[in-house]
Structure 1
């Protein structure tokens, strides 16, 4: 399989594009490159949001690669974990159909924008797909998808809350750029809010309340300093 990852900047947006020639498991080198890009976000304060553009393979009918090696699975796991805990708002952008190899990456992104007529293949094991499905979908739909192995229409995933926004085919990226621009201006505030959301599932109510008070206090101090 030939696969590549490229990055581009559009104002305060970082656009990461993944392209492949054939379906099948993602190469280890591609996952490692994706992980490296996500890990640098913490030090890039001028980036307000990230778009991960996942394109279907150029030859969707081509032969799929063999099962991934253990090292390739570990590289995918690391990239998925980094996406799930990215320091900036992160949106998966999916034009057309979504093959099984891309599903873990798409579900690892907290937000998703997809083509309104696309179909998503049932995911394979890897990347922590069980946890990703449990976070993104109602249990009944997740079980149906895994067991029937039939592609799900993007419209059904949108109705279930797994896709934030549907756009006409050919306009998905532009819709994502416009949508992300609404909250990309304040990267510091976004990082604070995402951090609070990330800790909520494991924190007690009292711990979460204390964390939010500290965050509000830091925001007030920052506002006073900027006004000086």
Structure 2
């Protein structure tokens, strides 16, 4: 099968590459299971400090394969439902991974590819990259959490425009709204993401994981509930070995080394 999710390591960074050369890295259910497994490994492996999701051949992802979707119309409805459940599992794994996850986007992130990029903690994009939720163009609606992410990250009117019109949105526009973190010259998104991942890898793994959890839970918490969550996280962090190393390093004016 030509569609696969490739993995490689660069020091403490796990790089996951969407690869489907004949279809602009269109997604396939086999990728979903592989991604969930690899992210679970990243969670357990202390030597992995960050994860990057990118696409092969300077193109992030064209989304779902329309030929496969057309075939699924002749099958029981549960076939497509199960496929979306698996995609949602991938999105969930990206959100809940204890390591920082960076999307490195070149070319375009379309449909579920856009959803996967949104599920990452940070997004680096080439200057001419585009993001598109074109489901409406073929009579469909978003999956993979795309509408959830956009509705929370952007003003209602902009989120509605992006999803309802289904037109490509330049990375620069999303950068203006803070949805894309960094714009870089075309062809350098992966290199920029790797450099950023190296910076993040030098930080406390314990604190990084806890910060991700706090941010994820903040949207569903009341302020007072979040006060409690922050309090428990802070106290637990203070009594973790990373805080001892971090505080001592600061007081001794040296660089902290986290294990």
Task: State the TM bucket, normalised to the shorter chain.
Answer: 0.7 to 0.9
Secondary structure of the equivalent of 2:201?
A: coil
- Does structure 1 conserve the Cα–Cα contact (< 8 Å) formed by 2:115 and 2:146? yes
Q: Does 1:202 align with 2:204?
A: no
> Would the alpha carbon gap of residues 45 and 24 (structure 1) be closer, same or farther in structure 2, given more than 3 Å must change?
closer
User: Which range is displaced more, 159-168 or 48-57?
Assistant: 48-57
Instruction: Quote how far apart the aligned CAs of 1:64 are.
Output: 3.7
* Structure 2: runs of 5+ lacking an equivalent: 73-79, 136-141, 249-259
Q: Mapping of 1:123-142 within 5 angstroms?
A: 123-124=134-135, 125-142=142-159
> Would the alpha carbon gap of residues 198 and 75 (structure 1) be closer, same or farther in structure 2, given more than 3 Å must change?
same
Q: Mapping of 1:89-128 within 5 angstroms?
A: 89-124=100-135, 125-128=142-145
Q: Mapping of 1:1-228 within 5 angstroms?
A: 2-20=2-20, 21-22=22-23, 26-55=27-56, 56=59, 64-67=66-69, 69-124=80-135, 125-185=142-202, 186-203=204-221, 204-219=225-240, 223=244
Greater RCO (Cα-Cα under 8 Å, separation 6 or more): 1
Distance in 2, matches of 1:184 and 1:15, equals 14
| Greater per-residue helix proportion | 2
CA RMSD of aligned residues (A): 2.6
Whichever of the two has the greater Rg, that structure is: 2
User: Which range is displaced more, 86-95 or 98-107?
Assistant: 98-107
- Does structure 2 conserve the Cα–Cα contact (< 8 Å) formed by 1:46 and 1:187? no
TM-score, with structure 2 as normaliser: 0.77
- Does structure 2 conserve the Cα–Cα contact (< 8 Å) formed by 1:49 and 1:180? yes
